[in-house]
Structure 1
Amino acid sequence: MQFRLISAMVLFVGSYFPLALILLAQDVQKKFLDASFCRWSSYSSCSFQIFDHPVSAWSCVLVSGVALFITQWGLRLVEPHIEVTVIEAKSIPNDLINYVFPYVVAFMGLSYEDSGKMMGFVVFLVVLFVITYQSGQVVMNPFLFVFGWKIYEAKIEVGQKNETRITRVLKRGELFPGKQRAEKVQDFYFMGDP
């Protein structure tokens, strides 16, 4: 099974929710960083517009947050139909380092104020999406770790033919040797909860 383009885009956008939060935090106006907290006695003189670009900042958080929620909901709907036997498995979190680069970029002068840099960053993300989608790596979403999903390299036997292959598995929780049910999506096998 191949990821549909829209599903892959939602998964990809959801993986950048932490980046949207970083950019939101960087958008706080400098004068509010040193300001004291509002008190009930001075409530009428308080300003609640603390962001330089509130529409852009909150839009990115909202869109990526909704995409992350849809990703979590969608992964729970995957129904594994293939019977596999896991012979051995090892966790491979190192592959997720590829997603760290855009987060580093956020601290290298990227802000909503510089529209040229933002457009360049959007082009970068589009190119990154095309590469990850075409290579079957769009599932490499580091934020899934927060929700208990892990990526494994596993030696498995598939179906009744006992074809042995080494593949990558996305599973919520630990992957132990034994019989499992899985669904193949691109180059990954999704395995449900035990």
Structure 2
Amino acid sequence: MAIILAIQDIPKQWWSRPICKLTNLADGGCDFNPFGSPTLSLSFLIISTVAVFLAWTALRRISYPFLVDVKRAKATPNEIINYTFPYVVSFMGISYEDPQKLLGFVVFLLWMFAITYKSGQILMNPLLLILGWCLYEATIVINSEEKDVRVLKRSKLDLGSVSAQTIQDFYIIKG
């Protein structure tokens, strides 16, 4: 969303300007700050970049101390995305120059986070999809006990013995 807001923060006049060339750098003919609200645009871009890096790092550092046997698995569709995209699109007209719409969008995002967190549909997060993670409903055997669980795995979940970790109600499987 930070990228969309940053692009929307670039004034129309800036898009019609010629592309900077090396010869223009010396005479000051180039403007490297295209944003109408540079502090907000750059702040949110930096915060988003740091958040993506932290999520990527956290997912890479997970240890997998449990051995589980996957008996059955099926991919879980993300129905929640189907009805949230129309709401997200309705906020496409927001900008940093419109603080009341921006605040409304922040409230919407917090509300969606609360709903997805409580419902267990954490995979709605597009970041996990981009990083290659998939959500499955699976039947596993752990400590001689069979359980129906939700599983996050980077790539396809195959049947058989695998290493896993639990975080909240999810099993994360090494892959």
Say whether the fold is shared (TM-score over 0.5): yes
User: TM-score by structure 2 length?
Assistant: 0.86
Provide the C-alpha distance between the structure 2 equivalents of 1:101 and 1:82, rounded to a whole number of angstroms: 40
Provide the C-alpha distance between the structure 2 equivalents of 1:33 and 1:155, rounded to a whole number of angstroms: 53
Aligned 8 A contact 1:170 1:190 in 2 = yes
Give the alignment partner of residue 169 of structure 1, picking from 151, 154, 157: 151
Aligned 8 A contact 2:9 2:41 in 1 = yes
Provide the C-alpha distance between the structure 1 equivalents of 2:11 and 2:121, rounded to a whole number of angstroms: 37
The answer for the alignment partner of 2:61 in structure 1 is 77
Range with greater deviation from structure 2 (127-136 or 25-34)? 127-136
**Structure 1 residues 105-135: Cα deviation after superposition (integer angstroms, max 9, x where no partner):** 442x111110000111111222222233333
Provide the C-alpha distance between the structure 2 equivalents of 1:172 and 1:133, rounded to a whole number of angstroms: 20
| Greater RCO, 1 or 2 (C-alpha within 8 Å, sep 6+) | 1
The answer for the alignment partner of 1:36 in structure 2 is 18
Determine what percentage of the aligned residue pairs are the same residue.
Answer: 40
Give the alignment partner of residue 44 of structure 2, picking from 40, 60, 67: 60
Paired residue secondary structure (1:167):
strand
Pair 1:158 & 2:142 matched: yes
List alignment gaps of at least 5 residues for structure 1: 1-18
List alignment gaps of at least 5 residues for structure 2: none
Paired residue secondary structure (2:13):
helix
Give the alignment partner of residue 104 of structure 1, picking from 89, 95, 111: 89
In the TM superposition, residue 185 of structure 1 has moved relative to its aligned partner by 1.5
Aligned length: 172
Letter paired with 2:171: Y
1:97–1:172: structure 2 CA closer, same or farther, 3 Å change rule?
A: same
The answer for the alignment partner of 1:141 in structure 2 is 125
User: TM-score by structure 1 length?
Assistant: 0.78
Provide the alpha-carbon RMSD of the alignment: 2.1
Provide the C-alpha distance between the structure 2 equivalents of 1:70 and 1:33, rounded to a whole number of angstroms: 33
Provide the C-alpha distance between the structure 2 equivalents of 1:40 and 1:27, rounded to a whole number of angstroms: 26
